[in-house]
Amino acid sequence: MAIEIVRQKANDINLDRDLYAKAYDMGVSFSQMLELIDPSESNDKLDAFERQLMRFGIRTKDDPKTGMGASKGEMFFQSNQPASVILFPEYLNRVARVAVMNQDDIMASIVSATEMISDNGIYRSLYIDDTEANRQFRRVAERGEFPVVRISWSEKATTLAKFGVAIQMSYEFVRRASLPLISTLVGRIMLQTRLDEVGMALSALGNGDGSGHASGGKITSTNLTVYQGGTPEGTQDMTYAGWLKWLYVFYPGMCTTVFGCVDDTIDVMTIGKPTVDPLWLYSFLDKSQLGGVPTLLNGRLSASISHVIHDQMTANTLIGIDKAAALIAYREAGTDLTETNKIINGQWNEIVMSNTIGFQTLFASARKELISVHDQAQQGTY
């Protein structure tokens, strides 16, 4: 059933808990719901939610210029303005989202896109028939068949998982604490949630997403010895040349992100390079005499690579991805309505902060595992 949105000014909006239910049904956050009702203009300094805070005199930050301090939590529970309590659950949600955004955003270096959904924890997966033979463009003889890459919906679903924490924070504490203090405490606690989500993404990259499509299986494993001409026995130290050759396996894509444990990540980041890069030196010479500086047109090896250290990675194993084509995230957009009602009713001594998310792999060619030990049994589980 379509939900009708009636445009209103900030002071005219009737704030009630039903707005959360409508937002959930539409697959949007409470802040986004307010924006639909009271859209922000390009020159507005406040968004729709912030205009509601201003409406009830709630200040989330100190203002040194005016000497006005931030509000305490009790401003959300004003007896003379009971609608202000409706804003408190979304205030906590915004604190959690900002904490994640201000963190080094690992997720932004992993997923190509995030789809916002509200399908009760299940979303139908894509089916991508991705093989090199299927995706190659080539000359086709008269009446011949073109290569086909099949993309459709899978019969299997992507299951979303909930990550969160229960924060024991009494009603009396919230009333007396300043909003910056609440923001600091909740934001710091929520950082672990993002690390847990990264672990789930890493598991999908390594083990597959279970969707059953050709690109959804276990990651393709490659061996370091192949790229630096080493013997097949034992462990080799990675060389700069071997590293560059391995990066080329992502062509025509590009490796953008590499996962590893602490030791392996540090080893990669401290690989010995030539004392003087010959190409750098060459750029200073008389190119009219030497014919110019050689340029690799189809390697795309010089891009900045993001390194992610994660304790799920086993030793001697790296996972590289092209984030533009390796993984997509599905996140449930609505808030937890049970928790929202508890907070609005004031019937709580703890608050559950949670995110619901799932991951699906896209193209197999955009994720590769590199092991530095010849024995394939050494490759990691994620």
The size of the chain, in residues, is 382
Confidence at residue 107, expressed as pLDDT on a 0 to 100 scale: 83
Cβ–Cβ < 8 Å for 195, 105 = no
Reported as a single tens digit per residue, the pLDDT across 328-371 is 888 776 556 667 877 887 767 777 777 778 888 888 889 999 99
- pLDDT of 260 reads 94
% pLDDT > 90, the chain: 25
pLDDT above 50: residue 158: yes
Predicted model pTM:
0.72
Which residues lie closer than 8 Å to 311 by C-beta, 6 or more apart?
261
Q: State which amino acid sits at residue 275.
A: T
Report residue 375's pLDDT band, with 50, 70 and 90 as the boundaries.
Answer: very low
Q: Please choose, from the candidates 331, 328, 307, 327, the residue with its C-alpha nearest in 3D space to the C-alpha of residue 318.
A: 307
Among the ranges given (125-139, 221-235, 244-258), the one the predictor scored with the smallest mean pLDDT: 125-139
Q: What tens digit of pLDDT does each residue of 189-207 get?
A: 877 777 888 889 999 999 9
- Across 125-163, b (16+ Cβ under 10 Å) vs e yields bbbbebeeeeeeeeeeeeeeeeeeeeeeebeebbebeeb
The pLDDT, as a whole number, for residue 273 is 74
Q: What is the pLDDT of residue 374?
A: 40
**Residue pair 206/369 in contact by the 8 Å Cβ criterion:** yes
Label residue 114 by pLDDT band (50, 70, 90). confident
Residue 37 has pLDDT above 90, yes or no: yes
Q: What angle do CA 195, 381, 193 make, to 5 degrees?
A: 10
Angle value at C-alpha 109, between 105 and 114, nearest 5 degrees? 85
Q: Which two tokens stand for residue 79?
A: 């007896």
Token readout for 183 is 């923001």
Which pLDDT does position 211 carry in this prediction?
67
Host H or E run for residue 309: strand 306-309
Residues 347, 348, 354: CA angle, nearest 5 degrees:
125
Indicate the average pLDDT of the chain: 78
Residue 12, exposed/middle/buried by CB under 10 A (0-12, 13-18, 19+)? exposed
Domain definitions of the chain by residue range: 1-55, 220-326+364-378
Architecture of domain 220-326+364-378: 2-Layer Sandwich (3.30)
Q: What is the pLDDT of residues 53-110, one digit of tens each?
A: 999 999 999 888 888 889 999 999 988 888 999 999 899 888 887 766 555 578 888 8
Report, as an integer, the average pLDDT of 33-58: 94
Q: Which residue has the tokens 């080893």?
A: 267
What are residue 255's phi and psi, to 5 degrees?
-70, 125
Instruction: Quote the pLDDT of residue 98.
Output: 75
Q: What are the start-end ranges of the H helices in the chain?
A: 18-26, 30-37, 48-55, 88-102, 132-135, 171-176, 179-207, 224-228, 240-247, 262-269, 278-282, 287-290, 337-345
Residue 224 β-bridge partners: none
120 φ, ψ (degrees, to nearest 5): 60, 40
CA atoms 312, 301, 221, 225: torsion sign: negative
Terminal-residue alpha carbon distance, the chain: 42
CB 83 within 8 A of CB 57: no
Q: For residue 64, what are the contacts with CB-CB under 8 A and spacing of at least 6?
A: none
